[in-house]
A and B are shown apart, each in its own frame.
Chain A
Amino acid sequence: MKGISFGQYYPASSVFHRMDPRAKIILAVLYIVSTFLCKNVLSFAALTISALLLVILSRIPLRIMLRSLRPILFIVVFTSAINIFATRGAHRLTPEHWWLAIYEEGLWNALFMVLRIVCLILSTSIFLTYTTTPVSLANALERLLSPLKRIKIPVHDFAMMMTIALRFIPTLSEETEKIMNAQKARGANFTTGSLFARAKALIPILVPLFVSAFNRAFELATAMECRCYHGGEGRTQLNVLHYRASDFVAILLLVGFGVGLWFLNRVDFLYRLG
């Protein structure tokens, strides 16, 4: 478990990997808004093309990209089924006397929904999880949310907790493995038996793991105190984030894209969402 990689970060060198993580969070939000702006065939076509462009620009292999879609397969199938069978419209495709009523509008709606969901997932995973490490994401969130400090929301503390959690994931997973081996050496069995029996077998792992996690927490707190930690006040940072011109260009491009979608929506062509 030494080589555990948390999150889905895929190391590569692309424009998105080099981008400021704050800019990527903003881009992700803008893109989500864009997917909901789409109303008709043309705008959805533009959305699909833009998503494909993102995939190409991110230099992430398609195989890995598709992996992020697997968890939403069920949602995709489910929503398209609902849309196909439940939409009533003017153009019935199945014969009148069939019990199954499918309308042309239903098919369009289903297609649009699927496109919307797929583009949503693809874009957020490209902007956030695939090209940004969890640590820089935490860092960026702290920076972006720092205005909230004024209304007494402990933004720095949350970011600190997140960083420490990320720091200790590999340590604790190693420890879990060690405890499991120790229990196995004494005849514990985690792999056979009913679900209930297997869950019960985990208790002797969880108890020592929790005890050790608390001990670690206490020691870490002492060590942090020794290193003069006193909250976010007056702290400086070694690696400060810097926006670059390209970050602003990307944000402007995406805003332009949104405006473009709005114009495309006004063109009447084939079908538009009601």
Chain B
Amino acid sequence: MTQPFIHTENLCFSYKDSEGAGEHPALKGISVDINAGEYVAVLGHNGSGKSTFAKLLNLILEPSSGVLCINGMNLTEGEIDDEQLMELRRNVGMVFQNPDNQLVATVVEEDVAFGPENLGVPQEELRRRVDDALDVVGMREYAKHEPHRLSGGQKQRVAIAGMIAMMPKCIIFDESTAMLDPGGRREVLDTIRMLNREHGITVLNITHYMNEAAEADRVLVINDGLLLTQGTPNEVFSDRALLLSAGLEVPQCSEVVLELREGGIAIEGEDIASLQGCADMIARAYATR
């Protein structure tokens, strides 16, 4: 891996006023590299620009300035023709927040087939891809069901299957768990992790849940259109003051450890992001007291 899968340099984007006069900068220069096979969480509070960042990555929105290279293709240099755009969107899939507003067909399997159908995949391969994709997310038995009868988590898994059927290299989850109940959120997160670990798909999870970010290899924190900090979840969650300045709060377990440390209790260890890690660290500190 010499070349990162996603490479941005000083990426900027501004929303135009309805009159077209004023501009509202949403991204003010983000430079980041994401390697193939990484699981990256993008954190930020509402209006921080994290969703805008996601939408730039498959050119739903066009960058105002800066450099954006995906999979070795420079998207900010010269005109992009329709074929390149299709290729890009095939490679970089996107799952949105509201499961109801991204399912097109009235039968689950036909919805999963929608993407590859658009790509013109021949029928036999289409059938195989749809079945495989439904197997991956564990929704094969619902192939003939109507989407509106499924639970939120199941709908979101169908949406993910719709992406997998296009065989993307990377999937961006734009707050895909925000509208789900805890059970559904767990289902989707497990699916996301499995896709990354077992199928080698690069994952970008845009979220404002800290616990979700803790599951990633790397966390990017975006605040006010700028990249505030990045690092492993353990590194990022150690700096509570910085996260607070971005309107974010560290997970409760990390907060306990940090508060204890502030209170003068020596707790050794780095594993601050996960609940299990925090519990172990506190237990160890208690044992060696």
Contact = CB atoms under 8 A, between A and B. Distances in A.
A191 interface: no
The interface centre, meaning the residue of B60, B82, B101, B110 with most chain A CB atoms within 10 A of its CB, is B101
Given A164-B104, A238-B113, A230 B118 contact: yes
B98 A167 contact: no
- B-side interface mostly: helix
Contact of B110 (A170, A224, A227, A238): A238
B115 A236 contact: no
A171 interface: yes
B101 to A, nearest CB: 4
Contact of A228 (B101, B118, B122, B130): B118
Contacts of B142: none
Contacts of A166: 106
Nearest to A238: B113
A225 interface: yes
A164 B114 CA distance: 12
B90 A228 contact: yes
A237 interface: yes
Contact of A219 (B96, B107, B115, B117): B96
Contacts, number: 91
A222 B123 contact: no
B60 A225 contact: yes
B140 interface: no
Contacts of B123: 236-238, 240
Interface string B134-163: 000000000000111100000000000011
Contact of B89 (A216, A227, A234, A235): A227
B185 interface: no
A234 B166 CA distance: 15
A202 interface: no
Contacts of B48: none
A167 B147 contact: yes
Contact of B117 (A220, A226, A237): A237
Contacts of A236: 116-117, 120-123, 126
Nearest to A171: B100
Contacts of A220: 101-102, 104
A104 to B, nearest CB: 53
B90 to A, nearest CB: 6
Contacts of A239: 110
Interface in A1-27: 2
B283 interface: no
Contacts of B147: 167
Contacts of B119: 228
B58 interface: yes
Contacts of B121: 236
Contacts of A223: 94, 96, 101-102, 104
B126 A238 contact: yes
Nearest to B149: A2
B103 A238 contact: no
Interface in A161-184: 163-164, 166-167, 170-171, 174
Contacts of A238: 109-110, 113, 117, 123, 126-127, 130
A2 B117 CA distance: 30
Nearest to A220: B101
A225 B89 contact: yes
10 contacts: A166-B106, A167-B103, A167-B148, A216-B100, A222-B96, A223-B101, A227-B162, A234-B120, A235-B120, A236-B116
